[in-house]
């Protein structure tokens, strides 16, 4: 009998691990409470960027200078639900400690080891499936109000350069030459080449899931309540067993670890999207807006503006007023943009206090594996995380040091 693996969570992390394992002849069951590609998945509504150069975590040493604006400024890309603060502190305090330069630099190093080949990983994952048609290759450009604002980001941009993510500086006339629809509010850019994006993250996941199912993989629509050794118990008290279990439940993974009596430290960075349909203009490549921290991505059937961070936990209702930051932001980028219809959405980025994922074998069992905590780049690194889990389960050689991603780093 072939090895059996049960994977909880069919977002980008789970579907990647499932498909790579299936291709190795493993008998894989993917369990999720929603269908792959569903709006309740964070993998549904993100900006779709395969952002290999996004190695600078939000826990940057420079965050202290910007904190007053972030916390109290109008249109701040970061907000805290103050009622949630007591629950947030066990995550927030170590997060702030991790802005130390030395730690910050080691995190960049670790993240780069996961992002550097992300396009190749996505191409390999989607090869031979209908998902591949949703991958686009091209540039993405960071937009700044002016050269001074660009220079204030020099530390971060030089780090990107050091890791091989070089960029071209674009003055206003050069920006307009490439994209005549741009307004004049953002008049400086840093253009990164060799990037990619998805024109529909939802259909990408759906097609990967269809391919997985059509080629022998099993998908169960169930909510998992508890994990006990090699056994998974669903909300209906059904018992599922497997040789190995992988937790890929995104921002909800902490609940599953709790059911195994394991501690972790995971928060949700709630983010929003505004999807503009029937637009009168579509850019050729994506942008990211530096001050408002959101991305603009040309997608199938519309233009997606996605970003901002809200620290408010898993259970609070969405604060859709935050979408106004995106609505006002896109008008600054494209003053003449018009659209006929729109969709708004909130999703949960899974983020640890050091902004690195939890990836690898559980500290208490050789049969349980973790792949969650992809924060702002979870879509980018999902296939790589799936590949690493596959190698670990099949005892294949690993070329990345995994100790830095262990779960018990938070409470040893």
Q: At what angle do helices 12-23 and 118-126 cross, to 10 degrees?
A: 60
d(CA 380, CA 51): 6
Token readout for 38 is: 């569903």
Token readout for 405 is: 């991603």
Least Cβ distance, residue 330 to ligand FAD (angstroms): 14
Q: Which residues bind ligand FAD (CB under 6 A)?
A: 8-14, 31-34, 40-43, 46-49, 51, 223-224, 248-250, 252, 256, 271-273, 295, 306-307, 347, 349-350, 372, 374-380, 382
Least Cβ distance, residue 172 to ligand FAD (angstroms): 26
Q: Which is nearer to ligand FAD, 187 or 310 (CB)?
A: 310
CA dihedral 171→174→175→179, nearest 10 degrees, is: 170
Least Cβ distance, residue 204 to ligand FAD (angstroms): 11
Least Cβ distance, residue 356 to ligand FAD (angstroms): 12
d(CA 389, CA 175): 41
For 54, the 3-state DSSP assignment is coil
Least Cβ distance, residue 397 to ligand FAD (angstroms): 25
Q: Which is nearer to ligand FAD, 121 or 157 (CB)?
A: 121
Token readout for 96 is: 């702030």
Q: Categorise residue 261: left if φ over 0, alpha if ψ from -120 to 50, beta otherwise.
A: left
One-letter-per-residue 3-state SS of 356-393: CCEEEECCCCCCEEEEECCHHHHHHHHHHHHHHHHHHH
Q: Which is nearer to ligand FAD, 189 or 271 (CB)?
A: 271
- Rounded to an integer, what is the distance from CA 98 to the centroid of its chain? 20
Q: Which is nearer to ligand FAD, 187 or 346 (CB)?
A: 346
The answer to whether residues 130 and 213 touch, using CB atoms and an 8 Å cutoff, is: no
Least Cβ distance, residue 42 to ligand FAD (angstroms): 3
Least Cβ distance, residue 129 to ligand FAD (angstroms): 17
Least Cβ distance, residue 381 to ligand FAD (angstroms): 7
For 83, the 3-state DSSP assignment is helix
Q: Which is nearer to ligand FAD, 187 or 352 (CB)?
A: 352
For 77, the 3-state DSSP assignment is coil
The answer to whether residues 233 and 6 touch, using CB atoms and an 8 Å cutoff, is: no
Q: Rounded to the nearest 5 degrees, what angle is found at the Cα of 262, between the Cα atoms of 266 and 406?
A: 60
Q: Which is nearer to ligand FAD, 187 or 276 (CB)?
A: 276
Q: Which is nearer to ligand FAD, 170 or 371 (CB)?
A: 371
Least Cβ distance, residue 320 to ligand FAD (angstroms): 13
**Which alpha helices (H) appear in 222-354, and where do they start and end?**
253-259, 323-333
For 37, the 3-state DSSP assignment is coil
Q: Categorise residue 118: left if φ over 0, alpha if ψ from -120 to 50, beta otherwise.
A: alpha
Q: Which is nearer to ligand FAD, 360 or 382 (CB)?
A: 382
Q: Which is nearer to ligand FAD, 101 or 277 (CB)?
A: 277
The answer to whether residues 388 and 404 touch, using CB atoms and an 8 Å cutoff, is: no
Q: Which is nearer to ligand FAD, 203 or 256 (CB)?
A: 256
**Bridge partner list, 309:** 78
**Bridge partner list, 310:** 79, 270
Give the CB-nearest residue to ligand FAD.
Answer: 378
Least Cβ distance, residue 302 to ligand FAD (angstroms): 15
């Amino acid at each position: 009998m072939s090895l059996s693996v049960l994977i909880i969570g069919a977002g980008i992390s789970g579907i990647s691990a499932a498909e790579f394992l299936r291709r190795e002849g493993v008998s894989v069951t993917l369990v999720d409470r929603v269908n792959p590609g569903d709006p309740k998945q964070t993998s549904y509504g993100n900006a779709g960027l395969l952002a290999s150069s996004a190695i600078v975590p939000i826990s940057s040493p420079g965050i202290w200078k910007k904190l007053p604006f972030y916390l109290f400024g109008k249109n701040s890309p970061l907000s805290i639900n103050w009622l949630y603060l007591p629950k947030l502190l066990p995550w927030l305090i170590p997060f702030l400690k991790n802005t130390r330069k030395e730690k910050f630099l080691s995190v960049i190093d670790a993240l780069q080891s996961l992002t550097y080949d992300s396009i190749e990983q996505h191409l390999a994952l989607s090869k031979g499936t209908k998902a591949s048609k949703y991958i686009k290759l091209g540039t993405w450009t960071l937009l700044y109000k002016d050269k001074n604002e660009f220079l204030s980001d020099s530390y971060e941009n030089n780090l990107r350069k050091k890791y091989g993510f070089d960029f071209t500086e674009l003055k206003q006339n050069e920006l307009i030459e490439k994209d005549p629809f741009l307004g004049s509010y953002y008049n400086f850019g840093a253009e990164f080449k060799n990037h990619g994006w998805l024109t529909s993250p939802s259909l990408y996941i759906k097609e990967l899931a269809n391919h997985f199912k059509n080629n022998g993989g099993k998908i169960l629509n169930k909510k998992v309540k508890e994990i006990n050794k090699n056994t998974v118990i669903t909300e209906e008290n059904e018992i599922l067993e497997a040789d190995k279990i992988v937790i890929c439940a995104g921002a909800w993974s902490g609940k599953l670890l709790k059911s195994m009596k394991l501690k972790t430290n995971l928060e949700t960075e709630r983010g929003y999207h505004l999807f503009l349909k029937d637009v009168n203009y579509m850019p050729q490549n994506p942008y990211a807006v530096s001050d408002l921290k959101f991305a603009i991505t040309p997608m199938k059937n519309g233009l997606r503006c996605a970003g901002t961070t809200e620290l408010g936990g898993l259970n609070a209702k969405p604060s859709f007023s935050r979408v106004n930051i995106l609505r006002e932001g896109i008008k600054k980028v494209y003053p003449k943009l018009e659209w006929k219809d729109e969709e708004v959405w909130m999703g949960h980025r899974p983020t640890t206090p050091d902004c690195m994922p939890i990836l690898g074998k559980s500290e208490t069992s050789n049969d349980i594996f973790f792949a969650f905590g992809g924060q702002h780049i979870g879509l980018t690194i999902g296939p790589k995380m799936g590949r690493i889990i596959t190698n670990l389960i099949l005892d294949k050689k690993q070329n990345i040091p995994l100790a830095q991603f262990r779960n018990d780093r938070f409470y040893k």
